[in-house]
């Protein structure tokens, strides 16, 4: 019987890469308008390369970018940061909010275990207007260790007050979310819609969700042995 569902945030609740893409376009346009001497596609490619090196949450990405292309200039930097923030679109995957409401209707407890820094995690939940739906939120600063370490999962499950085998964990990264969930004795569900790189059946998870609505189908199947309509 599943009594609690733990969600990852990025690429599980929210299309994180799409959000970055939508914010970076206007950021680069703004920098070019203020004097950045580079083609837009080259600038974007360079920024993604730096994200790969420093991580997608890297705070000084534009500073690093301008330095790396030999054009450090506060005028361009300020324009880039403002351009990035101006088009911030933090949207949940289509259908996800309805899924969360349905889970609440089924009296399931909901939690977050995310490697994002606490403020970023809360900002994203609040932007999406789903921050009130979660009973427990564990983000990076709560334990200072990243998934698949047990500590963040242990903190969440202790606060949820359920047994480990009553938890379904949903995430887009097999090496973090699935491996972590399995080590804890949770039932695991791979958010396939958030990670196109892993082939069907290769995530190692107990279940795979092709779209957010599949989460309900999986839970109803486990709890009632039936498919939801």
Rule CB under 5 A: which residues touch Mg ion? 8, 10-11, 172
Nearest approach, Cβ of 114 to Mg ion (angstroms)?
7
Tokens for 121?
A: 């995690």
The closest alpha carbon to 79, from 38, 41, 26, belongs to 26
Nearest approach, Cβ of 171 to Mg ion (angstroms)?
6
| Strands laid side by side in the 167-171 sheet | 136-138, 109-113, 4-7, 167-171, 187-191, 207-209
How many Cα atoms sit within 13 Å of 88 on the Cβ side?
12
Nearest approach, Cβ of 22 to Mg ion (angstroms)?
18
Which is nearer to Mg ion, 84 or 193 (by Cβ)?
193
Contact 112, 134 (CB under 8 A): yes
Which is nearer to Mg ion, 31 or 191 (by Cβ)?
191
Contact 80, 31 (CB under 8 A): yes
| C-alpha span between 165 and 136 (Å, rounded) | 18
Nearest approach, Cβ of 38 to Mg ion (angstroms)?
30
Which is nearer to Mg ion, 8 or 15 (by Cβ)?
8
Which is nearer to Mg ion, 10 or 64 (by Cβ)?
10
């Amino acid at each position: 019987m599943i009594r609690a569902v733990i969600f990852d945030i990025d690429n599980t609740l929210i299309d994180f890469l799409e959000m970055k893409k939508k914010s970076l376009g206007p950021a680069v346009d703004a920098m070019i308008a203020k004097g950045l001497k580079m083609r837009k596609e080259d600038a974007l490619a360079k920024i993604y390369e730096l994200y790969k090196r420093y991580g997608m949450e890297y705070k000084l990405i534009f500073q690093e970018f301008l330095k790396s292309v030999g054009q450090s200039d506060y005028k361009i930097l300020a324009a880039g940061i403002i351009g990035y923030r101006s088009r911030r679109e933090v949207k949940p995957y289509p259908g996800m909010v309805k899924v969360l409401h349905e889970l609440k209707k089924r009296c399931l407890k909901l939690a977050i275990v995310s490697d994002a820094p606490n403020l970023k995690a809360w900002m994203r939940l609040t932007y999406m207007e789903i921050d009130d739906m979660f009973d427990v939120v564990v983000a990076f600063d709560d334990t200072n260790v990243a998934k698949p370490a047990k500590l963040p999962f242990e903190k969440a499950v202790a606060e949820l007050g359920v047994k480990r085998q009553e938890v379904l964990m949903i995430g887009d990264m097999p090496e973090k979310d699935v491996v972590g969930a399995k080590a804890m004795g949770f039932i695991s569900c791979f958010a396939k819609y958030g990670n196109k790189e892993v082939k069907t059946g290769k995530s190692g998870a107990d279940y795979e969700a092709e779209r957010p609505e599949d989460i309900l189908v999986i839970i109803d199947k486990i709890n009632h042995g039936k498919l939801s309509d």
